[in-house]
C-alpha cells in the first residue's frame, strides 16, 4: 500500500551477555531519579559481566534542549558510570540517537500495517476533539481512541483501500496507530513487581508514528531494545503502565521470544514520604535535585548540582544505591566495586524510597574522613585559590587533618577553618560571657610571656607543656582555661585539637592573638 518503504538495513546484536541501557531524553538536566536508574543498570551489567549502553531518546524534537546531551555525558562521567556503547564512543548498534534511526522505526511500523497489526489514522485534531466530547457526553470514563471508538473514525480500518491510498498519495496528514485486540489479557512477570496482568480493554490504540514521521517512545524503545540485544529493561515505576503495551508490540513484531526481562524501580519520594520527589521539593527543603549544576538555556534559571554543593561522587553513589535496594546486611558503606559485587534485582523493594538528604550528608562526611591527606589538601587549595590566599602544602595538609572529622563538605575546610589564615575579628559572645574573666586574662598573659621566651622548635607538644607549667604555677587545672584560650585563638568555643591549631599558625601568631584578645575583650571585675 505504501510504495516508499525506507531502505535501511540493520544488524541485530545476538549475544549471551547481559546488555542493559540507560535511555534518557535530552529535555533538560538529568533528575537524580534518572541517575539512580542509570546506577542500577550499571551495577546489574557489571555484576554479570555485561554491557552498559547509553541511548538518547530524542524522538520528541519539540522538547529538545541544547546542552542536555553533554550534561548527561558529564553527569555519568563525574559519577564514574562509564558506558560501553553510546553516543560518545559509538558501538556495533550505532547510531545511538533515536532521531538518527527514523528509517528503522518507519520500516517496522509499515510492516505492522501490512500485517494488519497497525493502521493509518487520518483524523484531524478537530475530529479527535469531537470524538472525545461525544464520549464524555455518553458518560465514558476514559474517552480514548481504542478498539471500540476506532470504528467511528477516519482510518485504514473504516475507509476503503482506494480512499486510503488516495489520501496517502495526496499527502494528507496521518499517524500510525497500534491495532490493539479486544478483551485479551496481557501478562508480564516483572522482576520487582512479579506478575502484572492488564486486559486490552484498558489499552488504547497508541500512536506509533507521529504526523511528523517521528516514532513515539513506545515503538522506538521496543525496536531499539530488540535490535541492540537488550536483555533487561531496568527503568522507573512510571513506565509500568506502558509495559503491557510494549509486550503487545514485541508479540506483534514477532520478537516475543527475545523480549527483555523488565524491572520497574520504586519511586524516589519527597522527604516527607508523601508523593514523588520533584524539583519544587528540593527547593523547598534546600538540597540539589540534579547531579551537576544546570542553567536553563531558555529561562536562564540556575540550579545548583550535587557536585557544586560539595558532594563527593562516591558518597552520592553509595547514598543512591540504598534508595530502593537493600544489601541484606548491616553494611552501609560500599565502594562502587563492592556495590557491583553485592547488587541484585531481587533485593530492590516495591515501596517508594524517601529522599533523606541528611543521610546523603552523613555519607559525604564518612567519605571525607576516608580521603587521603593529599586529596583533602587539594580541596583546600582549590578553595584558597578562589579566595586568593596562599598556603604551603605542609600547612594545607595539617589543616586538612585537623578538620577532616568536623566537616560535611570539602569547602568547609576553609569556611570552618578561616582562623588558620587570619586572627578572629569577632568572638563568640556566649563564651566571652561565660569564660572570659580576670583569671583567664591573667593566665593567658603569663602564657604569652612564657611562649615568647620558649626555646627550641615550636610544636603542639611544646605549646601543651608550656601551658601546663603556667597552670601549675597558678595551681589551676587545664579545664579552667582551655575554652578561653580557644576563644582567643579562633573566636569560638569549639573546634579541632587546640594545640594542633597552635602548631599550624605558629608561635608568633599565637602570641599576637592572645594579646589581641586580651586588649579587645572586656569582662566584669569581681568586687
CATH code for position 236: 3.40.50.620
- Does the residue 3 lie in any domain? no
Backbone angles phi, psi at 170, to 5 degrees: -90, 5
- Does the residue 209 lie in any domain? no
pLDDT of residue 14: 59
pLDDT of residue 7: 41
Q: Residue 417: exposed, middle, or buried by beta-carbon count in 10 A (0-12, 13-18, 19+)?
A: buried
Structural domain including 396 reads 372-416
Report the distance separating Cα 376 and Cα 400, nearest Å: 6
Report the distance separating Cα 118 and Cα 377, nearest Å: 63
Please tell me whether residues 305 and 342 are part of one structural domain. Answer: yes
* Residues 369-394 pLDDT 10s: 999 989 999 999 999 998 899 999 99
Please tell me whether residues 392 and 358 are part of one structural domain. Answer: no
- Does the residue 311 lie in any domain? yes
Report the distance separating Cα 121 and Cα 110, nearest Å: 13
pLDDT of residue 12: 58
Please tell me whether residues 81 and 143 are part of one structural domain. Answer: no
Look-up: residue for cell 603542639?
Answer: 460
Look-up: residue for cell 477516519?
Answer: 154
H-helix or E-strand spanning residue 213 = none
Task: Please report, for residues 129, 153, 228, 359, 398, the alpha-carbon distance to residue 132 in angstroms, rounded to integers and kept in the order given.
Answer: 5, 11, 38, 48, 72
pLDDT of residue 16: 81
Report the distance separating Cα 94 and Cα 89, nearest Å: 10
List, in order, residues 6 or more apart from 181 with CB less than 8 Å away. 147, 200, 248
- Does the residue 11 lie in any domain? no
- Does the residue 94 lie in any domain? no
Residues of the chain with pLDDT under 70: 1-15, 526-527
Please tell me whether residues 442 and 507 are part of one structural domain. Answer: yes
Please tell me whether residues 84 and 37 are part of one structural domain. Answer: yes
Please tell me whether residues 350 and 376 are part of one structural domain. Answer: no
- Give DSSP secondary structure letters for 444-469: HHHHHHHHHT--S---HHHHHHHHHH
Task: Supply 461's cell numbers.
Answer: 607538644
* Residues 313-360 pLDDT 10s: 999 999 999 999 999 999 999 999 999 999 999 999 999 999 999 999
Please tell me whether residues 434 and 377 are part of one structural domain. Answer: no
Please tell me whether residues 36 and 82 are part of one structural domain. Answer: yes
* Number of Cα atoms under 13 Å in the Cβ half of residue 173: 6
pLDDT of residue 525: 74
Look-up: residue for cell 605558629?
Answer: 506
Report the distance separating Cα 353 and Cα 73, nearest Å: 26
- Which residue intervals of 262-418 are DSSP H helices? 279-285, 313-321, 336-342, 357-370, 373-386, 393-403, 412-415
Please answer whether residues 523 and 459 qualify as being in contact, where contact means their C-beta atoms are separated by less than 8 angstroms: no
List, in order, residues 6 or more apart from 228 with CB less than 8 Å away. 13, 19, 21, 53, 55, 93
Active site residue 430: no
DSSP structural state of residue 171: T
The one catalytic residue among 107, 276, 279, 354: 279
Report the distance separating Cα 155 and Cα 119, nearest Å: 7
Give the end of a domain, one of 416, 448, 476: 416
pTM of the model: 0.91
Please tell me whether residues 238 and 302 are part of one structural domain. Answer: no
- Give DSSP secondary structure letters for 268-305: EEPTTSSSB--HHHHHHHT--SBSS-EE-TTT--EE-B
* Number of Cα atoms under 13 Å in the Cβ half of residue 50: 22
Please answer whether residues 180 and 239 qualify as being in contact, where contact means their C-beta atoms are separated by less than 8 angstroms: no
Backbone angles phi, psi at 169, to 5 degrees: -65, -35
- Does the residue 303 lie in any domain? yes
- Does the residue 359 lie in any domain? yes
CATH code for position 483: 1.10.10.350
List, in order, residues 6 or more apart from 526 with CB less than 8 Å away. 438
pLDDT of residue 233: 98
Please tell me whether residues 69 and 129 are part of one structural domain. Answer: no
Give the end of a domain, one of 152, 178, 202: 202
Structural domain total, the chain: 5
Look-up: residue for cell 560500599?
Answer: 334
Degrees, nearest 5: CA angle 509-511-515? 115
- Does the residue 35 lie in any domain? yes
Please answer whether residues 158 and 166 qualify as being in contact, where contact means their C-beta atoms are separated by less than 8 angstroms: no
Please tell me whether residues 229 and 293 are part of one structural domain. Answer: no
Please tell me whether residues 222 and 179 are part of one structural domain. Answer: no
Give the end of a domain, one of 178, 202, 226: 202
CATH code for position 323: 1.10.1160.10
CATH code for position 153: 3.90.800.10
pLDDT of residue 527: 52
pLDDT of residue 141: 85
Amino acid at each position: 500500500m505504501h510504495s516508499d518503504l525506507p531502505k535501511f538495513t540493520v544488524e541485530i546484536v545476538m549475544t549471551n551477555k547481559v546488555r542493559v541501557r540507560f535511555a534518557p531524553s535530552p529535555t533538560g538536566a538529568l533528575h537524580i531519579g534518572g541517575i539512580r536508574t542509570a546506577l542500577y543498570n550499571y551495577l546489574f551489567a557489571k555484576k554479570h559481566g555485561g554491557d552498559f549502553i547509553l541511548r538518547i531518546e530524542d524522538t520528541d524534537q519539540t522538547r529538545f534542549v541544547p546542552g542536555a546531551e553533554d550534561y548527561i555525558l558529564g553527569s555519568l562521567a563525574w559519577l564514574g558510570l562509564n558506558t560501553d556503547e553510546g553516543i560518545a564512543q559509538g558501538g556495533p548498534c550505532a547510531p545511538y540517537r533515536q532521531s538518527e534511526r527514523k528509517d528503522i522505526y518507519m520500516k517496522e511500523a509499515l510492516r505492522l500495517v501490512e500485517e494488519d497489526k497497525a493502521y493509518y489514522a487520518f483524523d484531524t485534531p478537530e475530529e479527535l476533539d469531537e470524538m472525545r466530547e461525544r464520549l464524555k457526553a455518553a458518560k465514558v470514563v476514559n474517552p480514548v481512541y481504542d478498539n471500540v471508538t476506532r470504528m467511528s473514525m477516519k482510518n485504514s480500518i473504516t475507509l476503503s483501500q482506494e480512499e486510503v491510498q488516495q489520501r496517502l498519495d495526496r499527502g494528507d496528514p496521518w499517524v500510525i496507530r497500534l491495532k490493539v485486540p479486544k478483551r485479551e489479557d496481557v501478562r508480564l512477570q516483572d522482576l520487582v513487581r512479579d506478575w502484572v496482568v492488564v486486559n486490552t480493554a484498558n489499552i488504547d490504540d497508541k500512536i506509533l508514528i507521529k504526523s511528523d514521521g517521528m516514532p513515539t517512545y513506545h515503538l522506538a524503545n521496543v525496536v531499539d531494545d530488540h535490535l541492540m540485544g537488550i536483555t533487561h529493561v531496568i527503568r522507573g515505576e512510571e513506565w509500568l503502565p506502558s509495559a503491557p503495551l510494549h509486550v503487545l508490540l514485541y508479540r506483534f513484531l514477532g520478537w516475543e521470544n527475545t523480549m527483555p526481562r523488565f524491572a520497574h524501580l520504586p519511586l524516589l519520594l519527597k522527604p516527607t514520604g508523601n508523593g514523588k520527589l520533584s524539583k519544587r521539593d528540593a527547593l523547598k527543603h534546600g538540597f540539589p535535585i540534579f547531579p551537576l549544576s544546570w542553567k536553563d538555556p531558555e529561562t536562564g534559571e540556575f540550579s545548583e548540582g550535587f557536585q557544586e554543593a560539595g558532594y563527593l561522587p562516591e558518597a552520592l553513589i553509595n547514598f543512591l544505591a540504598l534508595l530502593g535496594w537493600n544489601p541484606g546486611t548491616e553494611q552501609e558503606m560500599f565502594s562502587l566495586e563492592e556495590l557491583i559485587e553485592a547488587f541484585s534485582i531481587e533485593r530492590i523493594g516495591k515501596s517508594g524510597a524517601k529522599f533523606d538528604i541528611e543521610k546523603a550528608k552523613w555519607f559525604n562526611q564518612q567519605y571525607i574522613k576516608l580521603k587521603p591527606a593529599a586529596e583533602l589538601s587539594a580541596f583546600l587549595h582549590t578553595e584558597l585559590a578562589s579566595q586568593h590566599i596562599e598556603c604551603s602544602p605542609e600547612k594545607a595538609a595539617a589543616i586538612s587533618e585537623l578538620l577532616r572529622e568536623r566537616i560535611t563538605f570539602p569547602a568547609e575546610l576553609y569556611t570552618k577553618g578561616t582562623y588558620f589564615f587570619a586572627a578572629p575579628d569577632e568572638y563568640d559572645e556566649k563564651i566571652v560571657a561565660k569564660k572570659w574573666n580576670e583569671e583567664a586574662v591573667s593566665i593567658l598573659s603569663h602564657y604569652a610571656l612564657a611562649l615568647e621566651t620558649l626555646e627550641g622548635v615550636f610544636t603542639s607538644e611544646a605549646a601543651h607543656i608550656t601551658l601546663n607549667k603556667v597552670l601549675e604555677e597558678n595551681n589551676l587545672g587545664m579545664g579552667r582555661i582551655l575554652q578561653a584560650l580557644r576563644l582567643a585563638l579562633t573566636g569560638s568555643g569549639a573546634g579541632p585539637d587546640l594545640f594542633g591549631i597552635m602548631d599550624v599558625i605558629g608561635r608568633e601568631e599565637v602570641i599576637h592573638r592572645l594579646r589581641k584578645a586580651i586588649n579587645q575583650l572586656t569582662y566584669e571585675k569581681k568586687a
